[in-house]
């Protein structure tokens, strides 16, 4: 899942995350562009899925079989719709890591070595949000008892524009997003069992 998502992101933004050089012509391939951060409307129909493991702030719908895609083991491939929250704490951790790495490599004209220019700050935040969204998608696949498809077949389309999310984003806040992807059901996935509550024995009154 991670490799296919990175393939969607493309190498352009990944390179930017390392070099942090402004590039107005860079294309963002994770989602279509919108003028504002608005969630794409939930698709009609589909079957609501129950998670096999708890994942707060998420919902998954099975939108039906995708007859154009074949799995390696012959299992039916389905299209799924997902809405989930990328944890703000996770985004903050990625942001801190990216900033530390950038400080080690930064060497911009007009700035002392190791200093990251202000114009690179939004790009670091955008990269941190992207990484958190990728991780959340991976977690959702496991939480709902699914298995990701290999290669481009396992690509995830995130509908919201991370650039727009970044503009008004406050570090540490959760990011809600919607996505669509193809996957198969994992026959080995088992639903979490409800805790068994033992009833206290009834003592007969004398």
Predicted confidence band of residue 195 (pLDDT cuts 50, 70, 90)? low
CB 186 within 8 A of CB 76: no
The whole-angstrom separation of Cα 34 and Cα 39 is 10
Domain borders along the chain are: 2-37+49-185
CB 43 within 8 A of CB 61: yes
Lowest mean pLDDT among 32-36, 43-47, 118-122, 202-206: 32-36
The whole-angstrom separation of Cα 206 and Cα 187 is 54
Q: State which CATH number among 3.30.70.1050, 2.40.30.170, 1.20.1640.10, 3.60.20.30 fits the domain covering 2-37+49-185.
A: 3.30.70.1050
37 closest CA partner among 152, 150, 137, 175: 175
8-61 tens-digit pLDDT: 333 333 333 333 333 323 233 333 333 357 899 999 999 999 999 999 999 999
User: To which residue do tokens 């003028």 refer?
Assistant: 35
Residues 6+ apart with CB under 8 A from 35: 164
pLDDT of residue 106: 75
pLDDT of residue 204: 59
134-170 tens-digit pLDDT: 999 999 999 999 999 998 888 999 999 999 999 889 9
pLDDT, mean of residues 202-206: 58
Is the pLDDT confidence value at 3 over 50?
A: no
**Percent of the chain having pLDDT more than 90?**
53
């Amino acid at each position: 899942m991670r490799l296919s998502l990175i393939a969607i992101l493309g190498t352009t933004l990944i390179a930017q995350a390392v070099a942090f050089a402004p590039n107005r012509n860079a294309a963002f391939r994770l989602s279509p562009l919108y003028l504002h951060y608005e969630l794409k409307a939930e698709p009609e129909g589909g079957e609501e899925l129950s998670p096999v493991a708890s994942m707060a702030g998420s919902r998954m719908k099975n939108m039906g079989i995708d007859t154009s895609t074949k799995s390696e083991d012959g299992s039916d491939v389905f299209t799924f719709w997902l809405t989930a929250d990328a944890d703000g704490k996770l985004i903050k951790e990625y942001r801190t890591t990216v900033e530390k790495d950038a400080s080690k490599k930064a060497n911009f004209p007009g700035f002392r070595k190791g200093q990251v220019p202000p114009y690179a700050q939004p790009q670091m935040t955008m990269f941190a949000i992207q990484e958190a969204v990728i991780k959340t998608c991976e977690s959702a696949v496991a939480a709902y008892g699914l298995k990701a498809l290999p290669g481009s077949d396992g690509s995830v389309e995130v509908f919201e524009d991370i650039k727009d999310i970044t503009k008004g984003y406050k570090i540490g806040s959760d990011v809600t997003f919607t996505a669509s992807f193809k996957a198969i059901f994992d026959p080995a996935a088992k639903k979490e069992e409800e805790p068994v509550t033992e009833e206290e024995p009834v003592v007969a009154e004398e």
